[in-house]
Amino acid sequence: MMRTPRVSVIIAAYHSDSTIASCLKALRLQTFRDFETIVVNSSRGDRTREIVTTQFPEVKFIENPTRLLPHAARNRGVLQAAGQILVFTDADCRGSPDWLERLVKAHAAGREVLCGSIEPAAGSGWFELGVHLCKYSFRLSALPGGPCAIAGTANASCTLKVWNAVGPFEENRFASDGLLSWRAAKQGWQPWFEPRAIVHHVFRHSCLEFWRERIERGADFAEAKTAFEEWSRLRLFMYLVTFPLLPLIQLIRTGGDAFKCGWRMVFFSTMPIPFLGHFGWSLGEARVHWRLLKQGVPWTRGRTS
């Protein structure tokens, strides 16, 4: 009789042929061994299927005939998962050898929802480091652990108990990990940042792609957050009033994280990149808030925090 694994690692893949092999090789090197790996691929036109099925026969490989957004792919993976702990990462991430061990130990200590740290891949250049600071400064491994708002699925895990209570992901949103985290926190399972559980992220996009992504993701996040928290017309208006200051505020927070982690020179040398990214994100949010204002959201409404 086949033994049920304790952990299921679920990886969404889309045109991932340049990174999936290194991601799966890192899983073979894990010090914790009681896990299964599930890859959900929706890019039939590249070599991802060939790489996974020929080089990594131990992996459960699922292929969808049409494009799946990342959280839709993760939902498909969970349906095939046998573990009591669900671990999520991306095909362009490589876990440190003790990555799963650190997550499992934190779950054993009573944490139900976890977010690990995200470091840049070795050899990252000036632009890649600037992008990393913009997107993941608050997930650097030198920061202290503690409660966090969102367990981002580049490096996150939750128990099956939590998933059954607050899952699945909303499949049409990039911010669905935020929604799941907020729903979990509402039921008493506050996400926890475990900095010693490290993955290394490979950034593959151009400056234009980065700019477009930040606008898109900012808008998607705003739609999710305003709906979940039932933002009032007053709160939307106050956001728009402060919009010009928000990229600078975010840049200061990024700098604070960088200074705490010994990234001072990296922050100063790459500063235009995080600022560009924060401005794009804030612009995407502002567009959504302006649209909601024009739709006539009530001045007072639901929760305000």
179-233 confidence digits (pLDDT tens): 999 999 999 999 999 999 999 999 988 999 999 999 999 999 999 999 999 999 9
Q: Does 187 share its domain with 212?
A: no
Both 234 and 126 in one domain: the answer is no
First to last CA, the chain: 50
> Rounded mean pLDDT of the chain?
95
**What kind and span of H or E run contains 39?**
strand 35-41
Q: Are residues 261 and 281 in the same domain?
A: yes
Domain interval for residue 242: 207-294
Last residue of a domain, one of 173, 201, 229: 201
Other beta carbons less than 10 A from residue 196's beta carbon: 16
Structure token pair of residue 89: 């990462």
Q: What is the pTM of this model?
A: 0.95
**301, part of any domain:** no
Tokens standing for 181? 């985290």
The predicted model gives 28-42 an average pLDDT of 98
For the chain, the residue count is 305
Going by C-alpha positions, the residue among 236, 249, 210 that lies closest to residue 291 is: 236
Which tokens is 244 given? Answer: 């010009």
Q: Do the beta carbons of residue 113 and residue 184 sit within 8 Å?
A: yes
Residues 71-98 have a mean pLDDT of 98
Check whether residue 13 and residue 124 sit in a common domain. yes
* Overall average pLDDT of the 61-65 stretch: 94
Regarding whether 163 and 275 lie in a shared domain, the answer is: no
Cα 118 to Cα 136: distance, rounded to the nearest angstrom: 7
| Total count of domains within the chain | 2
pLDDT for residue 159: 98
Do 224 and 158 have their domain in common?
no
Domain assignment present for 304: no
Nearest to 289 by CA among 251, 249, 232: 232
Query: Does 84 share its domain with 190?
Result: yes
Contact of 104 with 6, CB cutoff 8 Å: yes
What pLDDT is stored for residue 2 in this prediction?
60
> With bands split at pLDDT 50, 70 and 90, how would you rate the model's confidence at 304?
very low
Tally: H helices and E strands in the chain = 12, 9
Based on the fold, state whether residues 156 and 224 are members of the same structural domain. Answer: no
